[in-house]
Structure 1
Amino acid sequence: MSKKNAFYAQSGGVTAVINASACGVIEAARVNQDKIGNVYAGLNGILGALREELIDVGQERAEDIAALRYTPSGAFGSCRYKLKSLEENRAEYARLIAVFKAHNIGYFFYNGGGDSADTCLKVSQLSETMGYPIQAIHIPKTVDNDLPLTDNCPGFGSVAKYVAVSTQEAAMDVASMCATSTKVFILEVMGRHAGWIAAAGALAQEQEGDAPHIILFPEVPFDRERFLAKVQATVDEKGYCVIVASEGVQNKDGTFLADAGTTDAFGHKQLGGVAPTLATMIKSTLGLKYHWALADYLQRAARHIASATDVEQAYAVGRAAVQMAVAGKNAIMPAIIRAEGSEYSWSVGEVPLSQVANVEKFMPGEYISEDGFGITQKGRDYLLPLIQGEDYPPYKNGIPRYARLKKHLVEKKLAADFKA
């Protein structure tokens, strides 16, 4: 019986360390050449499989694959494309199986968040019913840190570090000018339903009273009057106020404070900007001068300030996914397990995809301060280890030198193109 080939794809919003997981997958697959044949990667994520646009990873140099460990973004291309349910469009899943069968692919490694976990599970289930078994392993990735059953998600630690450092530096700027200039600074960060990234802003605090003075979480209903009173009281006391706001801040009725009225490719509400919404509110009600910033792609692309812990964990789950696959495991996700005790340590375990798909992990109430504007010591104890260590990329001419892959496509074997 011939060896089966492997297919790897990146899904959804990328991170500073998703390529470290890719590096882990590819290097582990090369070590296991007695069980895994060729390694292919999807050009632009799952679309690469649907369109039969498969990158021959074997044509990439070993040193370029190793360089993925310190390269941000999705080296093979990612996409926001959610496969419909089996009932709605069985043809999409049938197409995946057809492409996998045509290229002798028996291992499917899908690197993404909750939606990709669902896709990975469905592919595993459908492949059995169609008589072409595929071992589907989901590799966790999301800056939002909202996947269940893993202590944290690769990609989050680096965003948390970026947000904490940016909050600290911006706060120092505002504090130095507040006597005659800006009184309020607002940093808007990612986090649609879970406030993990916003919470990381609190790591900028070295002592009580330090910025950020207010953190707004999706888990805490927004109270306009309490918020404005807190802003004014902080400015009166300190001369300035620094706010870190999650993009998913919600009103008491559950609507988003900054709902743009549209949805993205995954069916999620598009958010129109919490920071300018809050800034307008502060200016019109309190008359305070403000500045706001949108971290946006900068927070998830900032490999130059990545957390070494995050890089190590991203690589480890990629490598573990291959080890689990060659051991015969299926429909699972490697998960980060935090050891008990005051000294931080971790290992890689495994959880069933049936318990991961379409499940979100929110900030526990015990991590949020009683007034709803900050985090507790328990929250700090959870977050702090995740931003530890520096893992700088190599520099040339003053800027990071990142990997650039050839991305040679293999020859198509199916007659018809798939329109996706």
Structure 2
Amino acid sequence: MPANVLYGQAGGVTAVINASAHGVIQGVRHHRDHFGRIYAAREGIIGALREDLVDLEREDAASLDALRHTPGGAFGACRYDLGPLESHKHQYERLMEVFAAHDIGYFFYNGGGGSMVTAEKVHVAAQQMGYPLTVMGIPKTIDNDLAGTDTSPGFGSAAKYVATSVREAALDVASMAESSTKVFIMEVMGRHAGWLAAAGGLAQGRPDDAPQIVLFAERAFHRRAFMDRVREIVERVGYCVVVASEGLRDADGQFLSVAESSHVEDWIQLGGVAPNLAEMVRRDLDLKVHWALPDYLQRAAAHIGSATDVEQAAAVGERAVELAVAGENGRMPVIRRESDEPYEWSVDSVDLARIADVETTVPEAFIREDGYHITEAARRYLAPLIRGEARPPFINGLPDYARLGMFPVERRLPPYELDEQVAPQKGGKPA
């Protein structure tokens, strides 16, 4: 009998991660002679450890097809790292027991850099323990920092939301700048990589249009220079809009704002750059300032999803299945850019070991020489990624998203208690 398939989602979700799930499901449908049943693990690797699986074969086709335009993680995602095989062998033994109990021979794990570490660990463990398992990583992250791929599925839609929100908010600010707010600051996600801040720069159509300032995680923040730039722009334009990476650091390499420390060693939760910058502006320049923190909104905005992003997210899911059918193992599909204009791309693949937990930051060529905006090279790279509208269907004025039955698979093993979370590699956030 053909082996069964297990799919899982991990890390911060995106507006298009479920499109990748749909791509996997479609791929399995197209190769019924090669695969058995397809399951999903609730909350990613946590569900796999707990034997908390759902049977996708019991879902109706319309509900599964609706995944293509549904944000969030339909099956639940997690931030949970497996420990090293040497010291946490019991975790991997449990996984192999669960896989064997449900005849699982294919494991597709959909996530970012930390999640690819988890996928690689499972791949290596299965080989060392002699369990016949094909493991495929599937890329996603709004941070756009995955190595080996031209762009990360999830980024294009988040970038479109950020650029659109900046342009719309700027019109509000400009309309009342004479007697009200002079400075508006929007904080976007990006711990070590300023890709989303760069995307905000796309909103600027003419030289003095908003945003007038982009603050990248890759460039040190200098308070005096920043204040001088804000003052000059307000005096010349009448107002100033700033897009700032949450991972902004000072000249000493310290984050400008830390929301909280995690119990996981060497991991901190960022947040609060915008209000901190706003307070600096109030104190130094005595200007009225407002700030915004899109937070989850930027990664959940499927109502303004990028058609390019949705297409690519589905494509990497389907390609993961094709790679498995071809006998590949321990790989991750990646996007290859063939040209900017017209925008053409293809799907290739790389070894998980090469890209797991490796971050790609905004290159110097994409950051203007003064450090406060994007270059034309950045625009050429970013512009195709936000093109096209992938609007979900609307009912009674609201988007209509997938509603799955989430039919549980009968457990065959004793309950399992999760270990306390282990410290992630390289001090990064958990998968």
**What is the aligned partner in structure 2 of residue 354 from structure 1?**
353
Cα offsets for 1:44-72 (capped at 9, x unmatched): 11111010001101010111111000111
**What is the aligned partner in structure 1 of residue 228 from structure 2?**
229
**What is the aligned partner in structure 2 of residue 45 from structure 1?**
44
SS in 2 for 1:107: strand
Alignment of 1:261-272 (within 5 A): 261-263=260-262, 268-272=267-271
CA distance in 2, matches of 1:139, 1:236: 48
Deviation at 1:264, TM superposition (A): 6.9
Matched AA of 1:211: A
SS in 2 for 1:291: strand
SS in 1 for 2:339: coil
Deviation at 1:370, TM superposition (A): 0.3
Matched AA of 1:307: S
**What is the aligned partner in structure 2 of residue 364 from structure 1?**
363
SS in 2 for 1:373: coil
**What is the aligned partner in structure 1 of residue 131 from structure 2?**
132
**What is the aligned partner in structure 2 of residue 345 from structure 1?**
344
The answer to whether 1:247 aligns with 2:246 is yes
Deviation at 1:252, TM superposition (A): 1.2
Matched AA of 1:23: H
Cα offsets for 1:54-100 (capped at 9, x unmatched): 11010101111110001110011111111122233222122111111
Alpha carbons 2:340, 2:384 under 8 Å: kept: no
**What is the aligned partner in structure 2 of residue 182 from structure 1?**
181
**What is the aligned partner in structure 2 of residue 383 from structure 1?**
382
**What is the aligned partner in structure 1 of residue 107 from structure 2?**
108
CA distance in 2, matches of 1:350, 1:419: 32
Matched AA of 2:176: M
The answer to whether 1:326 aligns with 2:325 is yes
Gaps of 5+ in 2: 420-431
The answer to whether 1:403 aligns with 2:391 is no
Matched AA of 1:15: T
Matched AA of 1:232: R
Deviation at 1:266, TM superposition (A): 8.9
The answer to whether 1:294 aligns with 2:296 is no
Alpha carbons 1:321, 1:333 under 8 Å: kept: yes
CA distance in 1, matches of 2:331, 2:263: 27
Matched AA of 1:365: E
CA distance in 2, matches of 1:81, 1:341: 37
CA distance in 2, matches of 1:90, 1:399: 47
Deviation at 1:271, TM superposition (A): 1.3
**What is the aligned partner in structure 2 of residue 171 from structure 1?**
170
Farther off after superposition, 257-266 or 60-69:
257-266
CA distance in 2, matches of 1:165, 1:272: 21
Residues 1:265 and 1:406: Cα distance change in structure 2 (over 3 Å): farther
Residues 1:72 and 1:226: Cα distance change in structure 2 (over 3 Å): same
The answer to whether 1:15 aligns with 2:14 is yes
**What is the aligned partner in structure 2 of residue 117 from structure 1?**
116
CA distance in 1, matches of 2:351, 2:114: 15
**What is the aligned partner in structure 2 of residue 419 from structure 1?**
418
SS in 2 for 1:120: helix
CA distance in 2, matches of 1:38, 1:126: 23
Cα offsets for 1:213-260 (capped at 9, x unmatched): 111111001111111111111111111000000100011111111023
Cα offsets for 1:289-342 (capped at 9, x unmatched): 011000100010000000000000000000110111111100110000000353
SS in 1 for 2:190: coil
**What is the aligned partner in structure 1 of residue 96 from structure 2?**
97
Alpha carbons 1:164, 1:200 under 8 Å: kept: yes
CA distance in 2, matches of 1:157, 1:342: 17
SS in 2 for 1:98: helix
Alpha carbons 1:81, 1:265 under 8 Å: kept: no
CA distance in 1, matches of 2:122, 2:31: 23
- How many residue pairs match? The answer is 419
Farther off after superposition, 84-93 or 51-60:
84-93
Give the superposed CA RMSD. 1.2
SS in 1 for 2:374: coil
Alpha carbons 2:258, 2:269 under 8 Å: kept: yes
The answer to whether 1:392 aligns with 2:391 is yes
CA distance in 2, matches of 1:239, 1:380: 26
Matched AA of 1:192: R
CA distance in 1, matches of 2:47, 2:266: 21
Deviation at 1:267, TM superposition (A): 5.4
Q: Taking structure 1 as the reference length, what is the TM-score of the superposition? A: 0.98
Alpha carbons 2:340, 2:380 under 8 Å: kept: no
Gaps of 5+ in 1: none
SS in 2 for 1:245: strand
Cα offsets for 1:146-169 (capped at 9, x unmatched): 001100000000000000000000
Alpha carbons 2:138, 2:333 under 8 Å: kept: yes
Alpha carbons 1:80, 1:265 under 8 Å: kept: no
Residues 1:261 and 1:76: Cα distance change in structure 2 (over 3 Å): closer
Deviation at 1:209, TM superposition (A): 1.5
SS in 1 for 2:39: strand
Identical counterparts, % of pairs: 56
Alpha carbons 1:81, 1:266 under 8 Å: kept: no
SS in 2 for 1:321: helix
